[in-house]
Amino acid sequence: MRQAGRCLAEYRELRERFGILEIARNPELCARVTAMPVTRLGVDAAVLYADIMLPLDGMGVPFHIEPDVGPIVERPVRAASDVAALRVVPAEEATPYLFAAIRELRRSLPAEVALIGFAGAPFTLASYLIEGRPSRDLARTKALLFGDPVLWDRLMTVLSDVLVRYLGAQVDAGVDVIQLFDSWAGALSAEDYARAVRPYSRRVLDAVRGVPRIHFATGNPELLPLLADVPCEVVSVDWRIGLADAWSRIGDRGIQGNLDPAVCLAPFEVVAARARAILAEAAGRPGHVFNLGHGVLADTEADTLARLTELVGTETAVALV
């Protein structure tokens, strides 16, 4: 969704007729939107058009996406009875439309274009379940994490079980890479993350085999060594830390990042200079995936992203000769 980016005219036209969840739950529409950035921008990989809330479809948790707000959980999960009511079912039963879209994409995408699947990490899904909507301070989530560690473990264990099935089924359907998004983990201290979050992300990523695994969180560079301390091949970083510093913290891992998405709103000479600075810092080191440090902003010009893709491809091709 963020790669389709709301900046593509053909995507915006489709969104005038269909909601986000309508597209994600329709295999033909999902496949069409997933492929749009490959055609328009020339990127090396397609990111599956989905929402991190989709696993809730099989858990018996009603939710919807409210425009300009985000995911809304209609009955938040805050008590032991709420956690006990959560269902864990086979992924193909929970979200069959998603795997149909993956199989269609695997048939239709060029062989050299990778397909990236993903899921929200247990902590990020837990935060939506508990808060009921996006939250700046995650007060209810932290209250449960700090105040009732037994119930917290039950909830995170259920979510880990669901995500192991969900990501495993994506791999079986044909994705080439998976990424685990812990979008709100940066709200935690390193100590609390290590104690109450890392074990569950480790369990999920350890269960996914056969494809490269990317681990992502944003907002707190102090978490980077902990993000790397789980089974993964690549750690994704945002613009708040330089690549050299990030590599010193994560060790022998690939790294994805880290152009600030807001830079792409500037004149292209600024975008090009920033991109070249990132490539110079990577210095041809194996395992660097050039990317934005977070999602495409809505006002970004598609031509800017297409030119950026071309620049990175040209510069790195020259560097490898």
Q: How far is CA 116 from CA 1, 156, 184, 228, in A?
A: 12, 24, 21, 19
Among 11, 25, 40, 51, the active-site one is 51
pLDDT tens, residue by residue, 243-283: 999 999 999 999 999 999 999 999 999 999 999 999 999 99
111 — pLDDT class (breaks 50, 70, 90):
very high
More reliable by pLDDT, 294 or 243: 243
Q: Environment class of residue 147 by beta-carbon count within 10 Å: exposed (0-12), middle (13-18) or buried (19+)? A: exposed
CATH number at residue 219: 3.20.20.210
Nearest to 318, CA basis, from 273, 269, 284: 284
40 belongs to a structural domain: no
pTM (global) more than 0.85: yes
Q: Is the pLDDT at 88 greater than 80, yes or no?
A: yes
Among 2, 103, 154, 202, the active-site one is 2
What domain range includes position 177? 46-231
Q: What is the mean pLDDT of residues 189-200?
A: 97
Helices and strands counted in the chain (H then E): 15, 9
37 — pLDDT class (breaks 50, 70, 90):
very high
pLDDT tens, residue by residue, 120-158: 999 999 999 999 999 989 999 999 999 999 999 999 999
17 belongs to a structural domain: no
4 — pLDDT class (breaks 50, 70, 90):
low
80 belongs to a structural domain: yes
The full DSSP string for 148-195 is -HHHHHHHHHHHHHHHHHHHHHHHHHT-SEEEEEETTGGGS-HHHHHH
102 belongs to a structural domain: yes
Q: Residue count of the chain, please give it.
A: 321
286 — pLDDT class (breaks 50, 70, 90):
confident
2 a catalytic residue = yes
Residue 67 has a pLDDT of 85
Residue 291 has a pLDDT of 94
pLDDT tens, residue by residue, 203-231: 999 999 999 999 999 888 999 999 999 99
Residue 319 has a pLDDT of 52
| Domain count of the fold of the chain | 1
Q: How far is CA 240 from CA 83, 186, 217, 257, in A?
A: 36, 12, 12, 11
| Cα(129)–Cα(40) distance, integer angstroms | 35
pLDDT tens, residue by residue, 47-57: 999 999 999 99
Among 49, 128, 193, 200, the active-site one is 128
151 belongs to a structural domain: yes
Q: Is the pLDDT at 321 greater than 50, yes or no?
A: no
Q: What is the mean pLDDT of residues 167-174?
A: 98
18 belongs to a structural domain: no
AA letter at 315 = E
Among 15, 154, 240, 274, the active-site one is 15
51 a catalytic residue = yes
6 a catalytic residue = yes
Mean pLDDT score across all residues of the chain: 94
156 belongs to a structural domain: yes
313 belongs to a structural domain: no
Q: What percent of the chain has pLDDT over 90?
A: 89
75 a catalytic residue = no
| Cα(189)–Cα(261) distance, integer angstroms | 25
Residue 284 has a pLDDT of 86
